[in-house]
């Protein structure tokens, strides 16, 4: 079944071996940017562990495999932020923990997947810690995250960690052209904007409005960095729609400044693409130090919006701070 996963052969063959040699861990941490197939891998791993027909592979068509695909198999539990929420609450983690001592419904394992593990509040992470420290034999945890650093070190150290690398532009193009009907030109454009993530490229293809919006945000932010104070308010107004869009756009900005960070330090971009004109324009304005300070400010903003705050005011504060950093 792992052949369905594109571009992460090292990881999938490791996982396959662990099952074959009975060396499965009790806790895994899958990290890497969004849209690389971490959740898909977790699901395939669960099938390989639980499938009725093929041990260590997962057949894809028995009732267990099908139920796992439809997310209604009782021994595969998925915890993620609830609709409209940006964080995983302690109550959700407690509910999962309360089930751990119950024997699996069938088969030998219960797989507990936490999707967006960085969004667990610190209290939620701490309450999970005890279960990771004293695992019950039939429970396996898979924590999935796009922000490795946001996971408590005490949790990270108890998990077997697999880092998913961004794919190369040409590979992503090939995958998308094979699996969809989109025309080549559109696909190339979306793939360039997606930073090595096939999932993000697909998202942009089906949401070309979002792509246009983000280009506009970068243009406004550039104006702000050049000293146009009005942009603080125009940007805050554009971005403060609701918690979830605020969070998505923050992730986009963080990704953007990370890319600039790579370029400022003389590394190639993660997707091996060339810097585009927007990258070059920003690079002329920023130093490494300023760029790092901006990333830190964006992470602070990310922490703030987990709570019920006035989003517009927070975005304004965030942009005023960025403007100060730029002025030095």
Closest to Zn ion by CB, 60 or 223: 60
Q: Establish if 204 lies at the interface with Zn ion (CB under 5 A).
A: no
Contact 106, 135 (CB under 8 A): no
The CA distances from residue 180 to 183, 199, 206, in Å, are: 9, 12, 11
Using CB under 5 A as the binding criterion, the count of chain residues that bind Zn ion stands at: 5
The CA distances from residue 75 to 24, 195, 246, in Å, are: 16, 34, 34
Q: Which stretch binds Zn ion (CB under 5 A): 20-28, 63-71, 106-114, 181-189?
A: 63-71
State the minimum distance, in angstroms, from the CB of residue 51 to Zn ion.
Answer: 3
- Minimal CA–CA distance to 291: which of 283, 300, 299, 302? 283
**DSSP conformation class of 35:** T
* Dist. CA 238–CA 183, nearest whole Å: 31
Q: Establish if 96 lies at the interface with Zn ion (CB under 5 A).
A: no
Residue of 5, 29, 65, 187 interacting with Zn ion (CB under 5 A): 65
State the minimum distance, in angstroms, from the CB of residue 70 to Zn ion.
Answer: 13
Draw the binding track, 23-62, toward Zn ion (x: CB under 5 A; -: no contact). Answer: ----------------------------x-x-----x--x
Q: Establish if 66 lies at the interface with Zn ion (CB under 5 A).
A: no
Closest to Zn ion by CB, 61 or 226: 61
Closest to Zn ion by CB, 68 or 143: 68
* Dist. CA 170–CA 74, nearest whole Å: 39
* Dist. CA 86–CA 93, nearest whole Å: 15
> Three-class SS of residue 121?
coil
Through-space distance between the first and last CA atoms of the chain, rounded to whole angstroms: 53
Footprint of Zn ion on 125-144 (CB under 5 A): none
Draw the binding track, 149-188, toward Zn ion (x: CB under 5 A; -: no contact). Answer: ----------------------------------------
Give the footprint of Zn ion on this chain (CB under 5 A): 51, 53, 59, 62, 65
């Amino acid at each position: 079944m792992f052949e369905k996963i594109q571009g992460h052969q090292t990881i999938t063959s490791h996982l396959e071996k662990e099952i074959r040699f009975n060396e499965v861990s009790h806790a895994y941490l899958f990290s890497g940017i969004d849209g690389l197939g971490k959740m898909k891998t977790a699901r395939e791993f669960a099938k390989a562990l639980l499938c009725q027909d093929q041990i260590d592979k997962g057949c894809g068509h028995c009732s267990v495999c099908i139920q796992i695909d439809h997310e209604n198999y009782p021994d595969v539990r998925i915890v993620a932020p609830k609709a409209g929420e940006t964080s995983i609450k302690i109550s959700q983690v407690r509910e999962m923990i309360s089930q751990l001592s119950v024997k699996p419904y069938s088969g030998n394992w219960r797989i507990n997947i936490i999707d967006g593990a960085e969004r667990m509040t610190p209290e939620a992470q701490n309450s999970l810690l005890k279960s990771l420290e004293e695992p019950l034999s039939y429970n396996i945890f898979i924590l999935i995250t796009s922000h490795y650093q946001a996971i408590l070190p005490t949790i990270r150290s108890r998990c077997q960690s697999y880092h998913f690398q961004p794919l190369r532009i040409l590979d992503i193009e090939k995958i998308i052209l094979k699996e969809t009907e989109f025309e080549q030109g559109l696909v190339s454009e979306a793939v360039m904007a997606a930073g090595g993530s096939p999932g993000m490229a697909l998202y942009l293809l089906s949401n070309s409005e979002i792509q246009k919006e983000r280009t506009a945000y970068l243009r406004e932010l550039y104006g702000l960095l050049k000293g146009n104070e009005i942009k603080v308010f125009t940007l805050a107004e554009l971005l403060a729609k609701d918690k979830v869009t605020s969070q998505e756009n923050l992730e986009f900005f963080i990704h953007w400044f990370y890319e600039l960070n790579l370029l400022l330090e003389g590394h190639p971009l993660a997707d091996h693409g060339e810097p585009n004109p927007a990258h070059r324009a920003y690079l002329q304005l920023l130093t490494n130090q300023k760029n790092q300070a901006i990333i830190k400010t964006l992470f602070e903003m990310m922490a703030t919006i987990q709570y019920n705050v006035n989003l517009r005011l927070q975005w304004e504060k965030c942009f005023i701070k960025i403007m100060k950093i730029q002025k030095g």
